[in-house]
Every structure is written in C-alpha cells, then in structure tokens.
Structure 1
Amino acid sequence: MILNEETIRLILGLKIRSSRADKGISLTELAQQTGVSVSYLNEIEKGKKHPKPSKIALIADALDVPYDQLVSLEIDKKLLAVARLLSSEVMKELPLEHFGIDTSTLVDVFATAPAKFGAFVNTLIEIARSRDISVEQFYFDALRSYQEMRENYFGDLEQLASGFIEDKNIDCSSDNLLKQLEKILLTDYSIVVKYTLQQHESFKQLRSLYDFNNKELLINADLSIEQKAFVLAKEIGFQLLNIENRSYTSAWVKAESFDAVLNNFRTSYFAGALLVSCDQLIEDMEGFFAQRKWSAERLNAIMRQYMATPEVFMYRLTSILPKFFGLNQLFFLKFDLDKSETEVHLSKELHLSGLHNPHASFMNEHYCNRWISIWLLNDLENAPEEQWISGIQRSSYVDSTNEYLLFSVARRSQNQKSTVSIGLLINATLAQKVKFLNDETIPRRLVNITCERCRLSDCEVRGAEPKIYLQQQQQEQLMIAIQEYLTK
C-alpha cells in the first residue's frame, strides 16, 4: 500500500481521533492538556494539518499512547480499511470537490464506523465490477448527478454566452453565423477551420477534431449547418474558458478524468447558450405554453428560429424550464436506432428532482413501445432526411400515480434515427403554466418501463414476454405462502 503525504496526514488524524475516543477525552480537554488550540487539533484530526514532532509528542503523552505508534506507518486492523481506501485508485477517481465534499469530510464519516462504512464502499466497488461499470461510465454518471444537483442551470456560463454575443455583435439567427464564428476563432485565437475531416478514412465517424499542434479545427463537411455551428461555438468555449484538460474530438475516445468530462460539458453548455438565447427562449416558450391547443407546427416553427439541432434546443429546455417556469420535475431522454440494429437504446438521459420513469437501468430489455419516444421513430420513414417531426403524449405509468406530459422530436439522418424527449410531471404548476394541457387531441396512454417488467396482458405492441414480472410474482406468492404457513 503506497501512502502519499496527504494520506499520511489523514491516517495520523484518524489515529489521534481514535485514541481520543477510546480514552473518552474531548477536544477541549485534549487542548487543555497539550496547550494546542481546539481549532488546530481539529485540523490535525481531519488530516488538514501535520503538526511538528514536538506537538505530536505532547498529544501522545496526553493520550498515553507511544509516540512511535502515532507516527508509525503501521496501522491497526480497525483503520486498515480506511487506509486502503484513501490510498486506492478509487479515491483518485471520485470527484468529491465538485460535490462540495473534501477528503477529510469523508474520513470523518469513515472514522465514526470504519467497519460498516468500509463494507459499504467495498460493496459499491463490487457492484461496479459485477455490472462492468467502467471508470468512464462512472465519470459520466457523476457528471449527470452534478447537473441534477444544480437543476442543470449554470448562471456563469449563461452570462458568459450573453456577454460574448453582445461583445462580438453576433446574430445567432443569421445564415452568416458560421462565417462569424470562423472569423472569431481565426482572429482571436489563431485557429484555422477546415471542413476536411471526412477525407481521413480513420476519422469518418467523428464530427470534429482539434489539431492543437497546427491550431486547426477539422470539421466533417457532411454535418448540417446547425451541427457545424455547435462545433464552432464549443471550440470558442474551450478557448474563452482557457481549458487545457479537454477532449480534442467530438466523440469521446477515452475520458481521462472527471475534470475533462466536466470541461467538455461546460463548453457544450456554453455552445447551447450561445446558439439558443436564454431570454429569447423564455419569451418563445411563454407564448407557446399560452396556447389553448397543442400545435406541433408551432413548436417546429420555434425550433427553426434557432441555428441549433432539435437535440440542442430540447436540452436547453432542461435548463430554462426549472429556473424560469418552476417546472423542475422533468426528465430528458435521447433514443437512437442505428440502421444496423433492430432495438433502440437510450443514449442520453437527465432527471431533475428525482429519478423519473423511464430511465436507463435495464440491460437487454425492450423499452415500452407505447412511449411516443419509441413509436415516433416509426413515423420517420415518410419524413425527408435531416428533417424532424414532433409529437406529444400524456403518459400514465402502470402501478404509479405519476403522469407526464411528454414532448418528443424525431429525426432521421444517414446512419440512424433518433428521438429527443422532455417529460414534465403533471401537477398544479404545470396545469397553471401550460394552457393546452387538457387539449383532447393529445393522446393518452398507459405505459411502463420495459416489456419484461410489464403486467399488462392486452398490450398490442408488446416487444417481449413479461418474464421478469412473472418471476417477481412467483417470488411474492412464495413469500405469502411462507408467511401464511408460519402464522398458522
């Protein structure tokens, strides 16, 4: 076990705290006996300070513990699990500081019940291994939790984007937007934009690649104008925020750290805020929600005002609706269906104010075909490429009191179909804000999470048998029979 300087401080603090607790001595009493202030002793126990040998000697005498025992790297069995955790790769991968947690706080919790907490941490590690959860997946899951904690609204990036638009006099609805962004990258950051990435056989699946050696941003020419605008805006975000720990490709090849994943998100957020103005979006959605009738045409018209893809537009709503409309009980989903596949998969999700249904937590199961997110994909067959279609649904969940108003936009490109959806929990706030909520033309459906877990026997679009539901029923019946037998 390799112990760095920080870990040695933490272990010393734990030893002192453990010995003090064993002797029933308070921090105040220890301070009186040693002449060391309570605040400094507290810093020592939390691993933030490493005292001089003379002070360690005073503490050892007061606790009636040998000096060598406190400073030795040998650790008793009770604290061994703590030391292993602190020196493990797991601690290096945990982005604690971004969640307002420092290592000493974690150690403080750990020291209270080291055996139980150690077992808990080891259990989480084993679950991750058994589910084949990679470090990269852990980073992305941590990022999603980070966003959800802040209701996916980041005021500093909103202000940065609006200030940048004003400073550079950018017209984001102009057909000349690409030229404006290209010029800013060239004049402000000496970055040359080239639409030649598709000429490299190895990079055809990428949208962009930043060549930092030659200061060239290579973009796939086959992208739509909205996708190109996003790539340019995102690169401006990297430069404006002076970010070095970053990905140089549009799609992750390998996520090296949580900071890199977070930086990628922040620049994407900046790009979305630049292309879809917060103030304009609030005004547009207020007018849209004020309608008495649902209109897909009106929603499409609003989206076309912005130089942004439907995905960027819908994702922007997850930031604006909670902050400015009070609609924070929502989820965002993106489903993809590649031409080479027959089953859809959930590629992106975000849940604000709790884990809503549906969500991606089931391996090799069939998502409910009653969701508009799924069946809207079938309607894309008659739609032109690079065009989108919109739809709406009121979804009630089997064995749940929750009902959601679900907006979906489906799009077909060369290689895949996809839908992006926002689900808003139907409650008093939504009823007040969205005047077309009770429009009778909005389809209502009873839905579930996956076919394998659904008890509905008359579903006309079932994609698989309810094997998991049946297994659960058998288990419950067995438990009832056991309980009845023991009661008698």
Structure 2
Amino acid sequence: MALHEQNIRLTFGLKLRQLRQEKGLSLQTLSQQTGISVSYLNEIEKGKKYPKADKIAALADALEVSYDWLVSLQLHPKLAPLAELLQSNLLQELPLDVLGIDKAKLIELLADAPAKLSAFVSTVVEISRNYDMQVEQFFFSVLRSYQEMHDNYFEDLEEAAADFRKRYLQNATTNSHTLAKVLSEQSGIRVIYEDFQDKSLHALRSVFIPKKRLLIINSRLSEAQRRFVLARELGFAYLALSPRPYTFSWVTVSAFEEVLNNFKASYFAGALLLPASDLLPQIEHLFALPAWQPDAWLELLGRYVVTPETLLHRFTNLLPHFLGLQELFFLRFSMDTASQKVLLTKEMHLGQLHNPHATALHEHYCRRWVSLQVLRSMQNQPHEGYLCDAQISEYIDSPNRYWVLTMARSLYPTPATLSSVSIGILVNDQARQKIHFLENAQLQRRAVGETCERCSAFDCKERVAPPLVLTQKQNNQARLQALQALIQRYEQS
C-alpha cells in the first residue's frame, strides 16, 4: 500500500523530534547547527513540512545518523503501534471530518506526545482485536454516530429527492419498470434481472458493473425490494456519489466514503419512495386513532409498495424533525429458521438514548421483546407477506417505557431467514400528545430486559441464560460496600 504524503511527513517529523530529544538538543540549538530556522524545524516536527535534500543532509549530520536512515519509515520500537497506524494509512481512512475532528490538530497532537498516544493506539488496537472489531464495523459505528448527531434528518437529501421527483416522477407509487426506464434515460444505466445461480450470491440484491453501465438485479426480489434497489441507484447517479459500493448488500468495504455515500443514496431512495408531504399526514392519522390497529399500519406497506425496513427507517427521519418525537430507537433482527439463531444486524438511537442498548456480544436478547415475539409467530404460523405487532415495553430496573412498533417478513431472496424491524418511541409527555392510543388497554404491556445475562427478573419463564453479568456486577458492588465499611470501621476506631 502506498503511504499517504501527509503520513510520510508526519513519520519524518516524529523521527526528527525523537532524535533531537535523545541528543538533548533544543530547537534553537539544532537551528544553529543546521542553519534551518526554528519555525521551519517546528513545522517539520509537526508533519506540516518535508525538507529538501540539502536540509535533510544537514539534519543527519547534526544528529549523527545516516541520510538513508533519517528518510526511512522506521521509528523507535516504543513507537511501533504509532508507526503501524501511520503506515496503514488509517488516519486517511478515518472520517474525522464527519465527527467534527480537525485532522491537522490531531496530527499536531500526535507530534506533541507520540509516546503516550502510541500507548493509547496500542490499547485501542488490542481492544478491537479482543472484540474482533473490523475496520468496516468501525465505519458503520461512525455512520450511526453521524446519523444520531443530525437526528437522522438531512435537508439537502430531502430537497434532492423532491427535486428529482418533480423533474422525472409524478406518481409516488411508480413501479420498478418506470424507475428502470428513468435510470436508463437519465443516467444511461441498463437494468437486467438474473437469478443468481451460485448459492453464495443468493443474498445479494444487486450488482453494478460501472464499465458496462449495467445494473444486475436479483430476480427473486419482491416489487418493493426492486423499487428500493432502483431508487438507490438513482440516488447514486443523481447525487454523483463516488466512491460507492458496487454490490447490495455489502461484500467488501474499502473506505468510509463508500459507507457514507451508500447511506446518502439509501436516504435519497427512502425520501423518493416515501415523500414527507404524503407520509406525514398518514402517520399523524394513525397516531390519532383511539386504539392500536395493526392492519392500518400494514396498509402503509401496500400503499407505498415498500419493505418494512424502508418504512420504519423513514419514520426515524421524520418523527424527530416534524413531530418532536426525538427519543427513539431503531432495531433490525434476523433469525435463521434452521439454527434459531437471532442476530441484531442494525441499531440506531436518537435523542441521546442509552436504554435500551441492544448490542451485546454472545448474550441472549430478551425474548419478551415484541421484535423477537413476532419472529417466532411468523415461524410457527404459515404467513404470507408481513406481520405487524406493538407493545409498551417497560424496562426492568429503568424508568423508561417505550411504545415499540414491529414489522416482520421473510428476508427474500433468502426465505429461510426471517427479519423484524422495530421503532421504539419513549413514552413521555410529547409522545402522549401525539400518539392517542398509548394508554389504551388493548395495547399489550410487558416488563422487559435487555439480555438474559443482565436481567434481574429471576422468575422469567422466557429466560434462556442465567444473569451472569448482573450477578458479577452485584458481587462487585457488594465487595466495594464491604470494603468501604471495613475502612470506615478502622478509621473511626
């Protein structure tokens, strides 16, 4: 991998600083010995400048090292983790601007305290290894933070979708044939359908071949899935997003820009298929009903010809921004019907919510969640299409209550996998004003936990694992209290 120019400058600066300090030389002294100004030396050490050959030669003589060694990328062994970070080009891949971090200031910080930061980097790398965290997982985590920072509402993408609809589409329920035609006419992208024969490709929705301007869509997809794939591709083209992934779903992740651009194209697709001006009145009407009516919510899927995930994810765009329902979460689970294994495959929290936080390695999610109940219902009963359910989830050992809406379906084009998507809205005064049926007795209420390993409901019939994490936490707390009592007894004697 070619090392980025900025990282070459930083590596040289770190090495120069390290050697100067080992020799006990101040910047002023080194300046006098080399004829290089103090300000220029300072900029070199901070990775802002890279000296010309004559200045490198002068520095090598003053520091009593060879020219070749000074320009090499080798750092002191104590700085090995930092050297590994620089040589990996990870600093260029990290989406620091998205997180509001000035890359220049971070580089200056690296130059000011390299040994301490090297130890920190080493610790972070070790943690990521222990949790088997890959770079792409980090990218997706950053994307979630980016969405949460903006309440998952992006005005520029909303306007772009509205502008596209006004120019090329008049009917919000435009079918896949029409979308493919617009894609061909406006972007020169041809669409074909293929039944991916190779088993390893069954889960793919689509493949884009840029050299041929060809979009290959899995012929097993439903009409709702096809429409989203095409609307997403229209987003890539209309917004001129690059770099971008060429498969849907993900196969490889090369850079954060791909992840961010994929999100933008997907957001565009949701806004295109579910215009806020049309969907918001429908949501407000359903919220105003005196009782929970699952069939009425399922009718939205038919009205807009979208998948449950597209619909509920669109809710996360609109509810905080337009209805003031800012404290909400979104969860997506998948269940393999053969192994019965349940995986959390997407999670997002808005409004600084930390409960429920469903990410838990090798733990068992609470089976009282409506998200999991609806998966079991779909498996145990022959259902075609979708299932919809809701409940008031009262979290054990927490004052928080949520109205949770869940929709489930078979995860085509892999029908042996079931999927549920859920949106949970914190029950507070704002929610009670907007959602009239929250106190209706018809709506089921359940005391729920997060995972069995962390739950204090010892008499729970649905429990599938002992509360090991909770017990350990309680034991540690008891030990701390006993220690404080022991110390206090002797201090007072």
Q: Does 1:378 align with 2:379?
A: no
Equivalent residue, structure 2, for 1:63: none
Equivalent residue, structure 1, for 2:329: 331
**CA pair 123-159 structure 1, distance change in 2 beyond 3 A:** same
Equivalent residue, structure 2, for 1:280: 278
**CA pair 231-477 structure 1, distance change in 2 beyond 3 A:** same
Counting only pairs closer than 5 Å after superposition, residues 135-214 of structure 1 correspond to structure 2 as 135-174=135-174, 177-199=175-197, 203-214=201-212
List per-residue Cα deviations over 1:327-376 (Å, max 9, x = no partner). Answer: 22111001111122213111111112335333343222211011111112
Gaps of 5+ in 2: none
Instruction: Report the Cα distance in structure 1 between the residues aligned to 2:480 and 2:188, rounded to whole angstroms.
Output: 70
Is the Cα contact below 8 Å between 1:331 and 1:356 reproduced in 2?
no
1:79 deviates by: 7.6
Equivalent residue, structure 1, for 2:311: 313
Q: Give the match's secondary structure for 2:346.
A: strand
Instruction: Report the Cα distance in structure 1 between the residues aligned to 2:318 and 2:301, rounded to whole angstroms.
Output: 15
Gaps of 5+ in 1: 61-65
Equivalent residue, structure 2, for 1:471: 472
Q: Give the match's secondary structure for 2:344.
A: strand
Is the Cα contact below 8 Å between 2:162 and 2:272 reproduced in 1?
yes
List per-residue Cα deviations over 1:165-216 (Å, max 9, x = no partner). Answer: 1101331224xx2121111122223322222233555533322222334333
Q: Give the match's secondary structure for 1:305.
A: helix
Counting only pairs closer than 5 Å after superposition, residues 453-472 of structure 1 correspond to structure 2 as 453-472=454-473
1:227 deviates by: 0.4
1:262 deviates by: 1.6
Equivalent residue, structure 2, for 1:118: 118
Counting only pairs closer than 5 Å after superposition, residues 61-460 of structure 1 correspond to structure 2 as 85-111=85-111, 113-174=113-174, 177-199=175-197, 203-381=201-379, 385-413=383-411, 414-460=415-461
Q: Which amino acid aligns with 2:359?
A: S
Q: Give the match's secondary structure for 1:239.
A: helix
Q: Which amino acid aligns with 1:186?
A: S
List per-residue Cα deviations over 1:297-327 (Å, max 9, x = no partner). Answer: 2222233221211110000111111111222
Is the Cα contact below 8 Å between 1:321 and 1:328 reproduced in 2?
yes
Q: Which amino acid aligns with 1:456?
A: A
Q: Which amino acid aligns with 2:376?
A: N
Q: TM-score, normalised by structure 2?
A: 0.83
- What is the percentage of aligned positions where both structures have the same residue? 42
Instruction: Report the Cα distance in structure 1 between the residues aligned to 2:469 and 2:445, rounded to whole angstroms.
Output: 26
List per-residue Cα deviations over 1:216-259 (Å, max 9, x = no partner). Answer: 32222221110011111111222223334222221211112211
Q: TM-score, normalised by structure 1?
A: 0.84
1:485 deviates by: 3.3
Q: Give the match's secondary structure for 1:286.
A: helix
1:83 deviates by: 5.5
Q: Does 1:7 align with 2:4?
A: no
Is the Cα contact below 8 Å between 2:328 and 2:353 reproduced in 1?
no
Is the Cα contact below 8 Å between 2:195 and 2:220 reproduced in 1?
no
List per-residue Cα deviations over 1:369-410 (Å, max 9, x = no partner). Answer: 111111122222476544222222221222212221211112
Is the Cα contact below 8 Å between 2:45 and 2:111 reproduced in 1?
no
Instruction: Report the Cα distance in structure 2 between the residues aligned to 1:147 and 1:9, rounded to whole angstroms.
Output: 33
Is the Cα contact below 8 Å between 1:393 and 1:406 reproduced in 2?
yes
1:68 deviates by: 8.9
Is the Cα contact below 8 Å between 1:318 and 1:332 reproduced in 2?
yes
Q: Which amino acid aligns with 1:198?
A: F
Is the Cα contact below 8 Å between 2:82 and 2:121 reproduced in 1?
no
List per-residue Cα deviations over 1:405-461 (Å, max 9, x = no partner). Answer: 211112235322221101112222222222222222222221111111112122121
1:43 deviates by: 7.3
Instruction: Report the Cα distance in structure 1 between the residues aligned to 2:17 and 2:155, rounded to whole angstroms.
Output: 41
Is the Cα contact below 8 Å between 2:172 and 2:273 reproduced in 1?
yes
Is the Cα contact below 8 Å between 2:332 and 2:419 reproduced in 1?
yes
| Alpha-carbon RMSD | 3.6
List per-residue Cα deviations over 1:105-156 (Å, max 9, x = no partner). Answer: 2123445544443322221111001111112222222222222222212222
Q: Which amino acid aligns with 1:141?
A: S
Instruction: Report the Cα distance in structure 2 between the residues aligned to 1:261 and 1:205, rounded to whole angstroms.
Output: 19
Instruction: Report the Cα distance in structure 2 between the residues aligned to 1:333 and 1:445, rounded to whole angstroms.
Output: 18
Instruction: Report the Cα distance in structure 2 between the residues aligned to 1:201 and 1:117, rounded to whole angstroms.
Output: 46
Is the Cα contact below 8 Å between 1:330 and 1:356 reproduced in 2?
no
1:294 deviates by: 2.4
Aligned residues: 473
Worse-superposed segment, 75-84 or 131-140: 75-84
Is the Cα contact below 8 Å between 2:453 and 2:469 reproduced in 1?
yes
Instruction: Report the Cα distance in structure 1 between the residues aligned to 2:9 and 2:379, rounded to whole angstroms.
Output: 63
Q: Give the match's secondary structure for 1:195.
A: strand
Instruction: Report the Cα distance in structure 2 between the residues aligned to 1:75 and 1:381, rounded to whole angstroms.
Output: 58
Instruction: Report the Cα distance in structure 2 between the residues aligned to 1:207 and 1:76, rounded to whole angstroms.
Output: 48
